Structure 1
Amino acid sequence: MGKGFYISKPLGFVLFGLGVGAVLTIFALSVVYSQEKRKNEVNARDGTRMVTTAAPHSTSAPSNEPWDKYRLPDTLLPAYYNVTLWPRLVPDEQGMYIFTGKSGVALTCVKETNLIIIHSNELNFTLTSEMHHAKLAGLGGTSAPVILKTWFQIQTQFMVILLKDNLQVGKSYWLYMEFRGELSDDLGGFYRSQYTENGVKKVVATTQMQPTAARNAFPCFDEPSMKAVFHLTLLHPPGTVALANDTENVTIDDQEVLQTRFEPTEKMSTYLLAFVISEFTNLRSPSEANVLIRIWGRREAIESGQGDYALSVTFPILKYLENYYNTTYPLSKSDQVALPDFAAGAMENWGLVTYREQSLFYDPKVSSNEDKEWVVTVITHELAHMWFGNLVTMRWWNDLWLNEGFASYVSYLGADYAEPTWNIKDLMVLQQVQRAFGVDALVSSHPLSSREDEVITPDQIDQLFDTITYSKGAAVLRMLSEFLTESAFAKGLHNYLHEYAYSNTVYTDLWKKLQEVNADSSIQLPASINEIMNRWILQMGFPVVTINTRTGIISQQHFLIHPDAVVDKPSDYNYEWFVPITWMKSGSNMGQHWLLTKTASYEPMKTDTDWLLANLNVTGYYRVNYDPQNWERLLTQLTNLNMIIHRAQIINITLALRTTKYLYEEKEYIPWESAIRNFEYFFLMFDRTEVYGPLQTYLQRKVKPLFDHFKVITSNWTRKPPRYMDQYNQINAVSMACKTGVKGCSELTRMWYRQWMKNPDSNPIPTNLKITVYCNAIAAGGVEEWDFGWQMFKNSTIAAEAEKLLYGLSCTKEPWLLNRYLEFTIEPNLVRKQDVAFAIVYISGNVIGQPLVWDFVRANWEHLTKDYDDGSFFFGRLIRGITRKFSTEFDLQQLQRFKEDIAASSFSFGTQAIEQAIEQTKANIKWVSENKVQVMNWLIEQSA
């Protein structure tokens, strides 16, 4: 799964662009629409490196030496590793947690060389002789050359071994090293996580290797194509259990330390290696199951049933995926571990999947529907990787999109199988497609797949874990599956997995297998899959397809939030796409058309009352615009269209504010959720202006009927709505009612919260409404309400509950409480490092907190990022979240000055996030200048 997938669910339509990006694309369409009416028309951890041995050449000067390049030379291939690691779960005399290790790797020479270059980062090595850090021996009777010199190339993270003579092509050698590292709390590599149980601090030793941190745990060939077999032994204290990718072989107890050896792994990439040493306990599948499934976590969490749901869905999801791939699960067990501290949402380590607690644990007494949905989709995402990503792995990180986009897409299919009554596949448009549109409409976006030589450094690799990789990847693969048919798509996947099992591929290998399947089907495509799909993955962005129903002219244009922005990234395809267009005419006549050129023709509408709706169910990754007459006819169909997702689509692509006038009649979740996400942009742009009052008044009238509706069907808020999607929409009803000042809403939330304050052991707040109640009650209260929420946050033993309180605390209107909260975020004993970025972004969503956060981050950004192994990801999350409200020239100047300050420092990552923030701010400025008066006047007219 990697880093980019985690989205904090309780703030679903607020947090760093999930809804905002989609909103911007929607309202940017106003430019296209208005033009049509006028007949014209985005350093690794700064700790002290433990190895300080200098390289013989300066890394600051240009060099063509192999050790100054970030990619491994193609001279050696690893076959297998023997690794023994011993993490100390108590601090040493200097207060440091350390681990020691012994590592050997069998390597084969494939090209003549007198160099061994192997990844190593932040490890101290024991001298094996007077001057060398490694021993080299021949295998199979081969003699090994003498080592002349070893050194460490810090910038490129290599240990370099210079040999007296060349290694022989086709011969194998054994490289042995002993080392020591820090078991730090930076959430990357081999690190420690901590929690308290019954008043006693517990330390967990765990891993997060993706993408380039296996080298922090032991020296290795740390590239995805360098697959090998791993023989692992872990030493650990009595009373703890050791887990790894494969099953344990034997545990030896010498009374002082346990030694657990593991069966050899399958041939796999280093980034998928994982091990955990803890006092965790587990739930397990019945003994008759052919795959051992275990859910691991804190004893208190497991014994209270928080892992029960995960256990209940894991086996059905595995069986579904076996059937989907038509390929047996490759391993004998599937351990899933909930960690108290984890930077990402989860990680697909083969056979040992690691999760944030919130991503694996669910407590029906405390957690919401949204929490439950998150658990099942994350589990499916990670298990989908067991085949697609683990069994068959991308050759290099430039094809990360294929791994993560595919798992994101399949997560909805598997979750729908596990929970068939939820209709969860319908949510993919809101949660993935629209989210991708927002980022991909920026000129600072990037193609799904780049050339290998464009993704070299760890920072460049880190930056790929983003919305484009996950959400656009999912959207584009969904589109491919739709026009091929799901059955043909799945058959091609089976053939792909069968041919390339235990090896590495590039994306075109999948296209070949899908093309072979399509050749045997009745689906007629206008070009090869390679020709069609390369236009979607090798160039950034997406088209807006304009359909003129009067003339029969259909055209495509690269869609940009800022239509005047200059696209300085060349494309071999001139930003044109092969677009699969599905449509419905006047509610019944279905059709499909491929748009292969800039402009084409089709049969125009025959009458003035006929209407056309294109891109049915938003299966295509493109926006649609129409002539004004068809827009008008579509507006009249809002309440008539039977398919709910069609109403949501129209809400999302309609520009005139009057399309929202019908909302007082709407009771369905998807159209309301889509409308709220759209209006969120209005709140972001106008919550500090005179437009906010009329906007609040207008929406209050629209949401009041929905609020009253749920009050009735829940018997005055005492029951849960019977329909699953209604349970989601109840959250919208209460949240928007309180946001817009509907009478009775604030009183309701404060009443629930006060009842809880009177009896902290019995929370009366409905689980699905907690996030809204916490926020509104704390916003309406003062220090007493905030302090109570903070105490409940500190006392919480359920991650999902803590997350809701983390957000609710950001809603206070007291500046001094917000400043105190900001100071708390940089105290690891108060807020876990995994939650820091989210807490800060939450506070920035508060109109009072936003300027406080901006000042705080600029003053503390080096401190905020230096302790994170995934600094680029962390920093990008902060920047995207904090700058969402930026819409003035002054905001832009401050952001540009911040960019200059960073460029002048030693800070080497996060540039992509800042560029995207600058472009987004410019688009916001333009949109506000062009629309503020118009929006204000329209809202005033509605209240007249």
Structure 2
Amino acid sequence: MGKGLFVSKAVAVTCVVAAIGAAATIIALSVVYAQETSKNEVTPSTTASPNTSPTTPSTPKEPWQRYRLPDSLAPVSYNVTLWPRLEPNEGDLYIFSGHSTVAFRCVKETDLIIIHSNKLNLTSFEGYHAKLRGLNGATAPGLKDTWLEIPTEYLVVQLDSPLQAGSTYELFTEFIGELADDLGGFYRSEYMEDGVKKVVATTQMQPTDARKAFPCFDEPAMKAVFHMTLIHPHETVALSNSMNYDPLNITMEGHNLIQTSFEPTEIMSTYLLAFVVSEFTFISNQPDADVLIRIWARRRAIEEGQGDYALEKTGPILAFFADYYNSSYPLKKSDQIALPDFSAGAMENWGLITYRETALLYNPGVSSNGDKEWVATVISHELAHMWFGNLVTTRWWNDLWLNEGFATYVSYLGADYAEPTWNMKDLIVLNQIVGVMSVDALASSHPLSSKEEDILTPEHISELFDSITYSKGAAVLRMLSEFITETVFSKGLNTYLEEFKYSNTVYTDLWKQLQMAVDNANIELPDSVEVIMNRWILQMGFPVVTINTQTGKITQKHFLLDPNSVVDRPSEFKYEWFVPITWIKTGGAEQQYWLLNKEATNTNMTLSADDWLVANINMKGFYRVNYDSDNWERLLAKLSSRHQDIPVINRAQLIDDAFNLARAKMVNTTLALRTTKFLDTEVEYMPWETARRSLNYYFLMFDRSKVYGPMQAYLKKQVTPLFNYFKKITVNWTKIPENHTDQYNQVNAISMACSTGVEGCKELTTGWFREWRNNPMNNTISPNLKYTVYCSAIAEGGVVEWDFAWSMFKKATIATEADKLMSALSCTRQPWLLNRYLEYCLDPEKIRKQDATSTIISIASNPIGQPLAWDFVRAKWDHIFNDYGDGSFSFGGLINGLTRRFSSEFEYKQLLQFKEDNAGQLGSATTSLEQALESTKTNMNWVAMNKEQVLDWFTSETSSPV
């Protein structure tokens, strides 16, 4: 998940079906539920465990107090029947009921069955929460006791004699759960269609929420075959991972319903299971295709053609990965469904991928260029998982980086195949690598791979879904693919998938397969793939490589944004890396050199008087580069005279490296600022976007100080030529630039021009917005420019503009349009409107739960809204954490977004107080809070050291002749 989904695989195994009819079960469960709610008794989910001596969390004495399942049992198959109610009951609750039979093999003799179950009310059979019977001649022992162990989310079944190793048994449970709107497990999503509220029953199991839908062995290595049956109303359709059998008409509780059963899945992990009941419709590919592809969404969205682009690209991307892996797609079908409420971007459930609407639906007349790219890359990310993650699955969540980092990297290859003119292989640098380097340069960062024993609780697992896992994972795998070649990389993947299909791995299994491919190709490396890569994944951070072009001396050291920060995480590699350095000299070809120690000398890197050298070509390696002062001056001179001689990615890299080296006190801040001087002649997107992000840090630090005015004036001077350039090539803004990245840079030109007061810009955007406000049924604003125009006009306007945008947001039927309006509403400069908007964030009728975090962060990105948002979240933290969590909020992202401006002692103390006040109630925000404290301290030191020289530099640049 992260960007997207998880997928698993499966091998066919016969499942034993419970000898209890679905109708009888569901009626019984309804009675149980009615009794429990009417009596208001303590439900099984709050039952205490039997008398056991108290133990410390670090050394639990009993198996049910440990967060990892015992290795005594192994599931074989599940037979699950569920009936979601799409209307509330008399208590105004949405519920689902069902029963499940799991067949399992006893691997080691044991008198305990421990299986995950969370937030399920289990039916009692003669005082026990389950039934057990033996299979294939095995005799089932009697039940001694059963209980729900709440902290570890287990159903514990204690037996009066042991299960026998080698024998097979089945456990039957029936239950009722809430079909809540918490975006986790089996949950409900709602939308309006033709004035009528529609309810969708859908799932998000990853990482640890399958246990909220039915009792199961909910760990990724506990693969099994799943036989699913769904009971649902006639006007709805049911979907799951595999193809359905012909539905049956049934009658239950006086209701005429449909019973849809599905073919057994392949052998797969619980987190990849998915099922949906909805009134959605679909479009599909040709009936004679090898794989059935269907795009599902709200009926109106399909009728408007919003699924057409996804359908057009899914087939080619699937074909690309089948070729890339040299492995056929393992399933008969690929369903992809756009959900109105979904916590992640998408989820790679095997055969039934679930998406946010913005990640799957695209409307050419309304959606932007960026929206289209997002759809292509998310689809590619999820389809990549069909093999890597689903067919072969990592054994435990400590190797999540391999699953998600890999899918993130190759998603750019798949998208590049689907859209060859977009230059997607370059855009990975901006979209993934540049940003995560700032996170990994903190002393509070973490290695890509952890030890299994360090990742135990659901909270620990959730914390791993961060930019290190996705973006750094992608960066180091891209680096590996570059130095062993993409052809050899894909050959290693093929043998990896073939060797481990339908099973589980650890990361070293991939290194071994890649090593065989390297050996077969006779590629020379300084050491084995495992030895090289372990230095990149088992220790946090990355190096800064310093090259002295006078002597050829090269050194490396751990790069930290704050060189005074204390790294308290030991590394067996002592923060040294094997670094694949690539470089070019003036007019020369690319060369490569491996830096294997803290320092070395390479005389090929020495320069004559007028030459220059730039290293890390196209940012293939995950490291920063510093140079001697003479080479920096030559590079700055080259940027000013003929910047095109330096590759475009490296022009961006020079800016990004210089600004970060300056923050780390390795170069002067004015040197970093000088890397932006050539931009008045630059029209390419990547250098401009990198400069915009780099300077954004200065705005965050100084937009409340006297530096702000001269800084604005300098940026205005630099961006004016770019604004005029796009005005010219678009024929006074009447045409859309042809090039993919030019479309992005046009947005930058207008956005920065309006924010810095370039003449004619605000009149342009407010005029377009006014035309729309005067004629709401005819929005002629270019889709690429909509957010920029909305934000600019709302910032310049007042309550009239805000209320109009809010009304348009509530009426929007296209998710990407709603997203742009939702973000732009935070641009207002009216504090009372921002406070009102914050209150809306905790009202799901106004802002969907899935969007609450991002909306609060948007408000906090506004300098007027930041203190309001920070006060709001602190005041509401109990409510947010206890009542609005469980997938609705990304706590880590929330803390990061709220504190980006923090740069004072007062703000640092506020953070410390927040940590103290909410000890034990931070969940997945724990690491982010530590990073925020570190960043705030770093910001404080940086501002104190640099404020005056930054002010002087901007002042001198804006007072000099243009």
In the superposition, the TM-score normalised over structure 2's length comes to 0.92
Structure 2 distance, partners of 1:868, 1:108, is 39
**Contact 1:459/1:872, CA 8 A, preserved across alignment:** no
Structure 1 distance, partners of 2:931, 2:557, is 21
C-alpha offsets along residues 545-602 of structure 1, whole Å, 9 cap, x if unaligned?
Answer: 0011111110100001110111100101001000000110113142111011011111
Does 247-256 or 159-168 show the bigger shift?
247-256
Alignment-derived partner of residue 643 in structure 1: 647
Aligned equivalent of 1:919, options 898, 917, 934: 934
Structure 2 distance, partners of 1:4, 1:686, is 36
**Contact 1:462/1:870, CA 8 A, preserved across alignment:** no
| Percent of residue pairs identical | 62
C-alpha spacing 1:850/1:869, structure 2 compared with 1 (3 Å)? closer
Shift of 1:940: 0.8
C-alpha spacing 1:630/1:896, structure 2 compared with 1 (3 Å)? same
Structure 2 distance, partners of 1:427, 1:5, is 22
Aligned equivalent of 1:125, options 111, 115, 122: 122
Shift of 1:651: 1.7
3-state SS in 1 of match to 2:449: coil
Alignment-derived partner of residue 109 in structure 2: 112
Structure 1 distance, partners of 2:341, 2:787, is 22
Alignment-derived partner of residue 668 in structure 2: none
Q: 1:488-567 alignment to 2 at 5 Å?
A: 488-567=488-567
Structure 2 distance, partners of 1:599, 1:461, is 38
Aligned equivalent of 2:729, options 713, 723, 734: 713
**Contact 1:4/1:465, CA 8 A, preserved across alignment:** no
Alignment-derived partner of residue 434 in structure 1: 434
**Contact 1:329/1:387, CA 8 A, preserved across alignment:** yes
Structure 1 distance, partners of 2:947, 2:326, is 55
C-alpha offsets along residues 502-521 of structure 1, whole Å, 9 cap, x if unaligned?
Answer: 00000000000000111111
Does 330-339 or 863-872 show the bigger shift?
863-872
**Contact 2:826/2:858, CA 8 A, preserved across alignment:** yes
Shift of 1:522: 3.0
**Contact 2:479/2:620, CA 8 A, preserved across alignment:** yes
The aligned length equals 901
**Contact 2:548/2:606, CA 8 A, preserved across alignment:** no
Amino acid at match of 2:927: Q
Shift of 1:288: 1.5
Structure 1 distance, partners of 2:589, 2:734, is 45
Structure 1 distance, partners of 2:888, 2:935, is 19
Alignment-derived partner of residue 184 in structure 2: 188
Q: 1:286-365 alignment to 2 at 5 Å?
A: 286-365=286-365
Aligned equivalent of 2:768, options 747, 752, 763: 752
Amino acid at match of 1:644: V
C-alpha spacing 1:829/1:58, structure 2 compared with 1 (3 Å)? farther
Amino acid at match of 1:786: W
C-alpha spacing 1:821/1:50, structure 2 compared with 1 (3 Å)? farther
**Aligned Cα root-mean-square deviation (Å):** 1.4
Structure 1 distance, partners of 2:51, 2:560, is 46
Alignment-derived partner of residue 76 in structure 2: 79
C-alpha spacing 1:906/1:846, structure 2 compared with 1 (3 Å)? closer
Q: Tell which has more relative contact order, 1 or 2 (C-alpha 8 A, sep 6+).
A: 1
C-alpha offsets along residues 865-895 of structure 1, whole Å, 9 cap, x if unaligned?
Answer: 3345545961111101010010111110101
Alignment-derived partner of residue 627 in structure 1: 628
Structure 2 distance, partners of 1:635, 1:59, is 70
Structure 1 distance, partners of 2:82, 2:759, is 62
C-alpha spacing 1:315/1:739, structure 2 compared with 1 (3 Å)? same
Structure 1 distance, partners of 2:146, 2:936, is 50
Q: 1:592-671 alignment to 2 at 5 Å?
A: 592-603=592-603, 604-638=605-639, 639-641=643-645, 643-655=647-659, 656=671, 657-671=673-687
3-state SS in 2 of match to 1:94: coil
C-alpha spacing 1:815/1:628, structure 2 compared with 1 (3 Å)? same
Alignment-derived partner of residue 70 in structure 1: 67
Alignment-derived partner of residue 860 in structure 2: 844
Alignment-derived partner of residue 243 in structure 1: 239
Structure 1 distance, partners of 2:95, 2:885, is 17
C-alpha offsets along residues 883-928 of structure 1, whole Å, 9 cap, x if unaligned?
Answer: 001011111010110011111x555442111001111111111111
Structure 2 distance, partners of 1:852, 1:589, is 54
**Contact 1:186/1:867, CA 8 A, preserved across alignment:** no
Q: 1:130-141 alignment to 2 at 5 Å?
A: 131-141=127-137
Structure 2 distance, partners of 1:478, 1:56, is 52
Q: Is 2:157 aligned against 1:161?
A: yes
Shift of 1:435: 1.5
Alignment-derived partner of residue 32 in structure 1: none
Aligned equivalent of 1:807, options 795, 805, 823: 823
Aligned equivalent of 1:828, options 830, 840, 844: 844
Structure 2 distance, partners of 1:50, 1:719, is 64
C-alpha spacing 1:869/1:245, structure 2 compared with 1 (3 Å)? farther
**Contact 2:447/2:538, CA 8 A, preserved across alignment:** yes
Amino acid at match of 1:219: P
C-alpha offsets along residues 350-374 of structure 1, whole Å, 9 cap, x if unaligned?
Answer: 0000000000000000000000000
Structure 2 distance, partners of 1:429, 1:768, is 22
Alignment-derived partner of residue 99 in structure 1: 96
Q: Is 2:715 aligned against 1:699?
A: yes
In the superposition, the TM-score normalised over structure 1's length comes to 0.94
Shift of 1:723: 2.1
3-state SS in 2 of match to 1:142: coil
Shift of 1:726: 1.2
Structure 2 distance, partners of 1:274, 1:694, is 55
**Contact 2:850/2:889, CA 8 A, preserved across alignment:** no
**Contact 2:392/2:505, CA 8 A, preserved across alignment:** yes
Shift of 1:864: 1.9
C-alpha offsets along residues 730-771 of structure 1, whole Å, 9 cap, x if unaligned?
Answer: 000000001111011111010000000000010021110001
C-alpha spacing 1:288/1:700, structure 2 compared with 1 (3 Å)? same
**Contact 1:443/1:565, CA 8 A, preserved across alignment:** yes
Structure 1 distance, partners of 2:888, 2:333, is 34
C-alpha spacing 1:60/1:920, structure 2 compared with 1 (3 Å)? farther
Q: Is 2:50 aligned against 1:56?
A: yes
Alignment-derived partner of residue 23 in structure 2: none
Structure 2 distance, partners of 1:814, 1:370, is 29
**Contact 1:865/1:871, CA 8 A, preserved across alignment:** no
Unaligned 5+ segments in structure 1 are 7-47
Amino acid at match of 2:156: V
C-alpha spacing 1:869/1:499, structure 2 compared with 1 (3 Å)? farther
Shift of 1:538: 0.3
Amino acid at match of 1:168: Q
Q: Is 2:224 aligned against 1:228?
A: yes
Shift of 1:61: 3.1
C-alpha spacing 1:617/1:49, structure 2 compared with 1 (3 Å)? farther
**Contact 1:580/1:595, CA 8 A, preserved across alignment:** yes
Q: Is 2:924 aligned against 1:901?
A: no
Structure 1 distance, partners of 2:589, 2:172, is 70
3-state SS in 2 of match to 1:293: strand
Alignment-derived partner of residue 13 in structure 1: none
Structure 2 distance, partners of 1:522, 1:627, is 36
Alignment-derived partner of residue 573 in structure 2: 573
**Contact 2:343/2:888, CA 8 A, preserved across alignment:** no
Structure 2 distance, partners of 1:66, 1:916, is 34
Does 271-280 or 674-683 show the bigger shift?
674-683
Does 636-645 or 97-106 show the bigger shift?
636-645
Aligned equivalent of 2:85, options 88, 100, 111: 88
Q: Is 2:907 aligned against 1:888?
A: no
Alignment-derived partner of residue 957 in structure 2: 942
3-state SS in 1 of match to 2:245: strand
Alignment-derived partner of residue 882 in structure 2: 866
Shift of 1:662: 1.1
Aligned equivalent of 1:145, options 141, 148, 154: 141
